[in-house]
Structure 1
Amino acid sequence: MKLSAEDLKKFDEEGYLFFPGKFTPQEAALMKQEADKIYAMDRKEVWREKSGVARTAFAAHTYNETFRRLGAHPRLVEPVQQLLDGSVYMHQFKINAKAAFDGDVWQWHQDYGTWARDDEMPEPRAMNIAVFLDDVTAANGPLLFIPGSHKQGVVEAGHDLETTSYPLWTLDRETVSALAEKGGCVAPTGPAGSVLLFSSLLVHASPPNISPLGRTIVYLSLCHVDNHIRAFKRDEWIAHRDFTPISALEDDCFDELVAGQLQAAE
Structure 2
Amino acid sequence: MNPESIGPQRLRINRFRVRCCASPRNDKNKTTGGRPMRLSQEQLEFFHREGWLFLPELFSQEEVDLLAREAVGIYDANRPEVWREKSGAPRTAFAAHLYNEAFRILGAHPRMIDPVEQLFGEPVYMHQFKINAKSAFTGDVWQWHQDYGTWKRDDGMPEPRAMNIAIFLDEVMPINGPLMLVPRSQNAGDLEASHDLATTSYPLWTLDEDTVTRLVKQGGIVAPTGKPGGMLMFHGNLVHGSAGNITPYPRKIVYLTLNAVSNYIRTPTRPEYIAHRDFAPIKTVDDDALLRLARAPRQAAE
* TM-score, structure 2 as length reference: 0.87
Q: Do 2:62 and 2:291's aligned partners in 1 also have CA atoms closer than 8 Å?
A: no
2:143 matched residue in structure 1: 107
More strand by share: 1
Q: Deviations over 1:106-140 (max 9, x none)?
A: 00000000000111100001001000000000111
Is 1:232 aligned to 2:273, yes or no? no
The one-letter amino acid paired with 2:127 is: H
Q: 1:83 aligns with which of 119, 131, 136?
A: 119
| 2:164 is equivalent to residue 128 of structure 1 | yes
What code does the residue aligned with 1:56 have?
A: T
Question: For residues 134 and 187 of structure 1, what CA distance do their matches in structure 2 show?
Answer: 15
Is residue 204 from structure 1 mapped to residue 240 from structure 2 by the alignment? yes
Evaluate the alpha carbon distance shift between residue 265 and residue 94 of structure 1 in structure 2; reply closer, same or farther with a 3 A threshold. farther
User: Residue 104 of structure 2 aligns with which residue?
Assistant: 68
* Inter-partner Cα distance in structure 1 for 2:301 and 2:171: 22
Q: Deviations over 1:19-54 (max 9, x none)?
A: 010000111110000000000000000000011010
Query: Are residue 2 (structure 1) and residue 38 (structure 2) matched?
Result: yes
Local SS of the residue matching 1:22: coil
2:119 is aligned with what amino acid? Answer: L
Q: Report the residue type matching 1:225 in the other structure.
A: V
**Structure 2 unmatched ranges of 5 or more:** 1-36
SS across alignment from 1:187: coil
Question: 1:256 Cα shift?
Answer: 1.9
Q: How does 1:30-41 map to 2 (within 5 A)?
A: 30-41=66-77
Q: C-alpha separation between the residues in 2 aligned to 1:218 and 1:77?
A: 14
Work out whether residues 30 and 261 of structure 1, in 8 Å CA contact, stay in contact via their aligned partners in 2: no
The answer to whether 1:243 aligns with 2:263 is no
**1:257 Cα deviation after fit:** 1.3
1:213 aligned onto 2:246: no
Report the alpha carbon displacement of residue 159 of structure 1 after superposing the two structures with TM. Answer: 0.3
Give percent identity, aligned residues only: 61
Residue in 2 that maps onto 1:52: 88
Deviation at 1:213, TM superposition (A): 0.4
TM-superposed CA distance for 1:255, in Å, is: 2.1
Work out the CA distance in 2 between the residues paired with 1:152 and 1:4. Answer: 26
* Aligned residue in 1 for 2:55: 19
Task: Tell me the amino acid that sits aligned with residue 107 of structure 1.
Answer: Q
Paired letter, 1:180 = V
Q: Within 2, Cα distance between the matches of 1:236 and 1:250?
A: 27
SS of aligned partner of 1:98: coil
* Aligned partner (choices 85, 97, 100) of residue 133 of structure 2: 97
Contact kept? 1:130, 1:195, Cα under 8 Å: yes
Q: Distance in 1 between matches of 2:301 and 2:231?
A: 26
Matched, 1:117 2:167: no
The partner residue of 1:253 within 274, 279, 289 is: 289
For structure 1, list consecutive stretches of 5 or more residues without a partner in the other structure.
Answer: none
CA-based RMSD of the aligned residues comes to 1.1
Q: Shift in Å at residue 260 of structure 1?
A: 2.6
1:248 CA drift (Å): 1.0
**Cα offset, 1:232, TM superposition:** 2.3
Give 4+ residue runs of structure 1 displaced > 2 Å after superposition: 260-266
Q: 2 CA distance for matches of 1:93 and 1:180? A: 28
Q: Distance in 2 between matches of 1:193 and 1:146?
A: 23
Deviation at 1:261, TM superposition (A): 4.8
Distance 1:240 1:233 in 2: 11
Letter in 1 for 2:88: G
Q: Is it true that 1:182 corresponds to 2:222 in the alignment?
A: no
- Residue matched to 1:222: 258
Aligned-pair CA distance for 1:233? 1.1
Letter in 2 for 1:35: A
* Residue of structure 2 in register with 1:154 after alignment: 190
